């Protein structure tokens, strides 16, 4: 966790822009929350023409819908910074204006999430959680993104 799903009209973003957006989301989430980058997942969903509507009309143009699910327990100040930085970062990485980026973040209790075969720690407890994992699991996590 976190998981950020980016939904766009089919063909809007090439692989390089998707990778740039994924790097920005990962960097920003890690910087704001302190969570290790190996937790961040960014998934792109492309919607075929005729299957994406805004205001009741088919979408034509640039739109990136980002829906993030993160662990609950962050301060209101950190959440606002996360939203502001993600909005600017996704816009810059995509090459679109911030008006084209719609961003929603929901919080889930860590006790209701599991990754890498383990229930996730509360925010701030990541290092002790990681230290107490089996060495093979810890090595796997630390190798992600390298």
SS3 146: coil
pLDDT at 1 over 80: no
pLDDT at 144 over 90: no
**CATH numeric code, 3-143:** 3.30.429.10
pTM: 0.88
19 CB-side CA count, 13 A: 4
pLDDT value of position 141: 86
pLDDT digits (tens, 9 = 90+) for 40-54: 999 999 999 888 888
Check: CB of residue 137 under 8 Å from CB of residue 118: yes
91 CB-side CA count, 13 A: 13
Burial class of residue 73 in the structure, from the number of CB atoms within 10 Å of its CB (0-12 exposed, 13-18 middle, 19+ buried): middle
The pLDDT confidence band at residue 142, using thresholds 50, 70 and 90, is confident
Q: Taking residues 56-74, report their average pLDDT.
A: 90
Domain boundary assignment for the chain? 3-143
DSSP 43-71: EEEEEPTTS-EETTEE--S--EEEEEEEE
pLDDT digits (tens, 9 = 90+) for 105-141: 999 998 999 988 899 888 888 889 989 999 998 888 8
pLDDT value of position 50: 87
pLDDT at 89 over 90: yes
């Amino acid at each position: 966790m976190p998981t950020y799903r980016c939904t766009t009209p089919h063909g809007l973003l090439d692989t390089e822009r998707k990778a740039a957006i994924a790097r920005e989301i990962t960097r920003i989430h890690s910087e704001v929350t302190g969570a290790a980058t190996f937790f961040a997942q960014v998934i792109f969903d492309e919607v075929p023409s005729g299957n994406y509507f805004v205001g009741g009309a088919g979408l034509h143009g640039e739109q990136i819908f980002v829906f993030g699910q993160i662990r609950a327990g962050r301060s209101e100040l950190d959440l606002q910074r996360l939203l502001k930085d993600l909005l600017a970062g996704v816009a810059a990485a995509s090459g679109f204006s911030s008006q084209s980026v719609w961003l929603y973040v929901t919080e889930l209790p860590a006790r209701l999430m599991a990754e890498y075969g383990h229930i996730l720690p509360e925010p701030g407890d990541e290092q002790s959680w990681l230290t107490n994992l089996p060495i093979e699991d810890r090595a796997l996590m630390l190798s992600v993104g390298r």
